[in-house]
Amino acid sequence: MAKLHVTTTVNGEPLEFLCEPYETMLDALRNQLALTGSKEGCASGDCGACSITLDDRLVCSCLMLAAEAEGHEIRTIEGMARGGRLHPLQEKFLEQAALQCGICTSGMLVASEALLRKNPNPSEEEVRFWLAGNLCRCTGYDKIVRAVLETAEEIREAAQ
């Protein structure tokens, strides 16, 4: 079967790639576009390590076909730091030791950023339920939740 030609935008950059009709967005990112920040932990949408946004909507890239990116905007962990400056969530994860092995971190950050865009003032419970689709086996989530709550507070304060 012939490969499909996809025209899309990834992290603000317009680009094109070829993919198999059955290829997932995660595989296309990792294998065609060399964007390996999104991780495969399960390939079944259970772990969230491959979290990206599709037109600002949080999705598991392992559950999305690469061809579905046609005409849409994709953002991945690689697009989170802008112009060499870390996003406040990235800074806070480092300050708070909110990562150990780091395999879930890309997905956690992408999901957390999507949360704060939607809800700049989340409760602890809202953070916990929003991130319930992102598995972490190292941290017990404590420092991740704290990092998200503190970042939200700092962003709100900075906006005032």
Partner 1 sequence: MNVVNNKWIGQRTIRPDGVDKVTGRAAFAADTAMPGMIWGKVLRSPHPHARIRSIDTSKAEALPGVKAVVTSRDVVDFPLDKSVMLGIQDMRWMCRNVMARDKALFPGHPVAAVAATTEAIAAKACELIEVDYEVLPFSIEIEDAIEPDAPILHEFNTFQGKPSNIVGTLEHKKGDIEDGFKQADVIIERSFTTRPVHQGYIEPHACLISVAADGKTTIWSSSQGQFMVRAMTAYLTGIPQSDIRAIPAEIGGGFGGKTIVYLEPLATLLAKKSGRPVKMVMTREEVMRATGPTSGSKSTVKIGAKKDGTIVAAQGTFYLQAGALPGSPIRGAAGCSFAPYDIANVLSVGYDVCSNRSKVAAYRAPGAPIGAYAVECVLDELAEALKMDPLEFRLKNAAKQGTKAAHGPVFPRIGYIETLEAAKNSAHYSAPLRRLQGRGVASGFWFNAGGESSAQVNITEDGNVVVTTGHPDIGGSRAGIANICAELLGIDYRRVSVIIGDTQTVGFSNLTGGSRVLFASAMVVTQATEKVINTLRERAAKIWEIDPEAVKWENGAAHPASPNAGQFEPLTLEDLADKAPMQGGPIGAGVQLNTQGAEGGFGTHICDVEVDIELGIARVIRYTAVQDVGRAVHPGYVEGQLQGGVAQGIGWALNEEYIYRSDGKVDNPGFLDYRMPVCSDLPMIDTILVEVPNPKHPQGVKGVGEVPLVPVMAAVANAIYRAVGKRFYALPMSPPKVLAGLEPPVQQAAE
Q: Which is nearer to partner 1, 71 or 117 (CB)?
A: 117
The full 3-state SS of the chain, as one line of letters, equals CCCEEEEEEECCEEEEEEECCCCEHHHHHHHHCCCCCCCCCCCCCCCCCCEEEECCEEEEHHHCEHHHHCCCEEECHHHCCECCECCHHHHHHHHCCCCCCCCCHHHHHHHHHHHHHHCCCCCHHHHHHHHHHCCCCCCCCHHHHHHHHHHHHHHHHHHC
Residues that bind partner 1 (CB under 8 A): 30, 34-44, 46-47, 49, 76-78, 80-81, 86, 90, 93-97, 99-106, 109, 124-125, 127-129, 131-146
CB of residue 97 to partner 1, shortest distance in Å: 3
Calculated CA dihedral for residues 40, 116, 101, 103, nearest 10 degrees: 10
Q: Which is nearer to partner 1, 127 or 160 (CB)?
A: 127
Q: Which is nearer to partner 1, 7 or 97 (CB)?
A: 97
Q: Which is nearer to partner 1, 39 or 53 (CB)?
A: 39
CB of residue 160 to partner 1, shortest distance in Å: 26
CB of residue 92 to partner 1, shortest distance in Å: 9
Q: Which is nearer to partner 1, 133 or 155 (CB)?
A: 133
CB of residue 31 to partner 1, shortest distance in Å: 8
